[in-house]
Structure 1
């Protein structure tokens, strides 16, 4: 069984996307909704650590409120895929590896377009995952929580977890999850870079380059210079997708 954990701040979006698609699922699941409309939680890591420990499922899905699972057999199909992966630490719907391109079956934005350059039919090992939807086995989450000190906001918590769980000897995979994500995921902010700086410092000994769906970041090069370069590449890629 899955436990599905979602922090939401817009009930209308939650109902129109995640809950609507969950209602059509053909298998049982546990739903843990975290109402953050009053900004009780200051970070995703804090919210997920507090509420995720209540989960009873074999796998915990952490997802955004504006995700549509697309198929009524999504959970059934996903469980079969996850059960086939040995040494699983964390799996997600989108991620990146040293090939430097996003691997994902997600469609995003309006009108919907593929989020990744590479679509897959079987699980693919990657370095890091995107935050929109990812899955952690409950026994893994019980041992390794999210890092609330590094990820003290709403960005990069799946990236940090991916790197940390790999350093703990477990693998990170993108799975062929064909979902729809309303947001195009193109938000850079001061908070993003603040967390990124701490993340790069934390993992510097093990990763010279951290590959994320928002850019590739060199832990040994000044972040102030990288910001300009990576943002230019990211938005140019988004612009090209529109045409």
Structure 2
């Protein structure tokens, strides 16, 4: 076969410069330094890890959604750890994490996201984490497949090529959004038994409820029942058990007639 013109660049599968990229949105540098020290002490040294942060110590330049998209875009590690500045690795370290990730690989090749706390269904929250006062909380059968994760400690496979929504802004529910994006891309989320200390119980500010409503509206609209027209075919999408009432040739004929009339009225 002939040679390709020399201005075209042949791509290869990515080779990661680091095993872990550890990414944090920082508002208090002293607390962040404490977090960094605990990671180094537990084996996450700079020979296998890069440490990336975005600086909100003077003002909120970045919200969590824009910050995490930047981390996911620029991180050079095979695994991207996105964590709060107020965590301390007081128990498990890099060897334990490697073992947990290897366990996930054997269980589910399509896992894309994991963390230390999350939820499966309503009234089934799972966690493996230590809270203020050295209160250790452990509930679940790990690794536990979940639908959402807590934001204090998240690990994303770099080759999953995930991002959070660009049309949401704020500091809440971005891990839930990431899990939904992962599910849309055929990837699973898990809680693993990796114990660290989170120095906060978390709190729901008024912004939390505003963002929850925005996220709910976004995905409710996306998952709505609808006809999809392509250049070559048309089909009906719906998760409703009554989809046969609408996704049939008669309703398609009606929809086409309505759309035809709309074009005439313009």
2:51 counterpart residue number? 31
Q: How many residues align?
A: 199
CA distance in structure 2 between the partners assigned to 1:99 and 1:191 by the alignment: 22
Residue in structure 1 matching 2:63, options 43, 46, 53: 43
Which consecutive residues of structure 1, in runs of 5 or more, have no partner in the other structure?
208-243
1:102 counterpart residue number? 125
1:118-133 to structure 2, matched below 5 A, reads: 118-120=139-141, 122-133=142-153
Structure 2 length-normalised TM: 0.69
Change in Cα spacing, 1:101 to 1:114, as seen in structure 2 (3 Å) is: farther
Query: Which protein is bigger by CA-based radius of gyration?
Result: 2
Change in Cα spacing, 1:99 to 1:47, as seen in structure 2 (3 Å) is: closer
Which consecutive residues of structure 2, in runs of 5 or more, have no partner in the other structure?
1-18, 225-266
1:1-243 to structure 2, matched below 5 A, reads: 1-16=19-34, 18-27=35-44, 28-69=48-89, 70-72=91-93, 73-84=95-106, 85-98=108-121, 100-109=123-132, 111-115=133-137, 118-120=139-141, 122-140=142-160, 142=161, 144-150=162-168, 152-185=169-202, 187-204=203-220, 206=223
Change in Cα spacing, 1:206 to 1:108, as seen in structure 2 (3 Å) is: farther
Shift of 1:197: 0.4
Q: Which has the higher contact order (CA 8 A, sep 6+)?
A: 1
CA distance in structure 2 between the partners assigned to 1:167 and 1:54 by the alignment: 22
CA distance in structure 2 between the partners assigned to 1:160 and 1:92 by the alignment: 14
CA distance in structure 2 between the partners assigned to 1:193 and 1:57 by the alignment: 34
Structure 1 length-normalised TM: 0.75
Deviations 1:15-55 (A, max 9, x none): 22x21211113352111122211225341111121233221
Counterpart of 2:201 in 1: which secondary structure? coil
| Cα RMSD, aligned residues only | 2.1
